[in-house]
Amino acid sequence: MRASPGNAAQVERSLPEHSLAERRAGRAGIFWMILTTLLFVTQDATTRILAKSYPVMEVAWARFAVHMLLVGIVVAWRSPHLMVSHRLPLQLVRSCLLLATTLLAVLSLRSITFAEVQAIAAAAPVLVTALSVPLLGEKVGWRRWVGVLAGMAGALLIVGPVGGTFQWALALPLGAAFCNALYQIATRKLKGVDSPTTTIFYTGMAGTVVCTLALPFNWVTPDLNGVALMVLLGTLGGISHFCLIRAYSAAPAATVAPFGYTTLVWAAVYALMLFGEDLRLSTIAGTIIIVGSGVYIFYREQTRARQAS
């Protein structure tokens, strides 16, 4: 039997103050994570629109340059000392990995359907678990390895043969997911070394520098609509990272991380409503497997952490 709104409010008022604060923090964290996923998918949709008319390097430059400009202004104004990194080489490697992820993602969005790109990109958290063994020295039990293998099976289901012909273009988002996983591992290594603000500052540095150098050879003068979309693209990049930080600041990772998969809900909406795509059965099935394995791995990590403490 469901409680009425009035009864629910009474129950909430009767909770201890700390429990009430935790529930409110949890709701806030979930809200920020859902907003983050919406912004990320909107950013990718904007990228897809721009990539149809402009070179890959130019689109990537717009994404990084506007982001770098906005973050640079905020950091320089509020805390200039945060521009100094204690592990500059690792920050630059991380920034290069994001550049590789972005370029592969832009190429993917030019070549295959929006829904397929988003579905394969969802395999990144599963890849992080697999790569954490050789790169972070973490121990992964057999249950989590089952989750990893299931996630890989889901990705292969999406990129597998369609009509007897292997779609090689689907290797592009798989490569992007791999680079994104390495990017996340580099981010883990920076935890406790540099502040989040410092890390955000360096996030777009490699992309801005490399794409600016390549820009004279990959430039198509945009019209007013193109300029507006490029500014929007870079702005979404900056705001989405801010929202992600707010999500993890408001509530524990165990509460908000699973809601990262709402990316796929927004992706399906954009694919159907904006791009008029039909969702293949193999894409839907593979996505369900990837999401299921990712959530399972995440909760196994949380269980292991609780047991260790």
pLDDT recorded at residue 287: 83
Distance in Å from the first CA to the final CA of the chain: 37
As a whole number, the mean pLDDT across the chain is 82
Q: Which residue is associated with the tokens 């904007």?
A: 46
User: Using one digit for the tens of pLDDT, what is the confidence trace for 268-307?
Assistant: 889 988 888 887 888 888 888 888 887 887 777 767 667 6
The CA-atom distances, in angstroms, between 233 and each of 54, 59, 157, 163, 269 are 13, 9, 31, 35, 19
Nearest to 126 by CA among 308, 293, 276: 293
Instruction: Write the pLDDT tens digit of every residue in 119-164.
Output: 888 888 788 878 887 887 777 777 878 888 888 888 777 766 544 4
Whole-number Å distance between alpha carbons of 103 and 108 = 9
pLDDT-based confidence at residue 187 (cuts at 50, 70, 90)? confident
Q: What is the pLDDT of residue 4?
A: 44
pLDDT digits (tens, 9 = 90+) for 195-237: 888 888 888 899 999 999 999 998 999 999 999 999 999 899 8
Note if the pTM is more than 0.75. yes
Place 49 in a pLDDT band, splitting at 50, 70 and 90: very high
Contact 47, 105 (CB under 8 A): yes
Largest CA distance in the chain: 66
For residues 185-193, give the mean pLDDT. 83
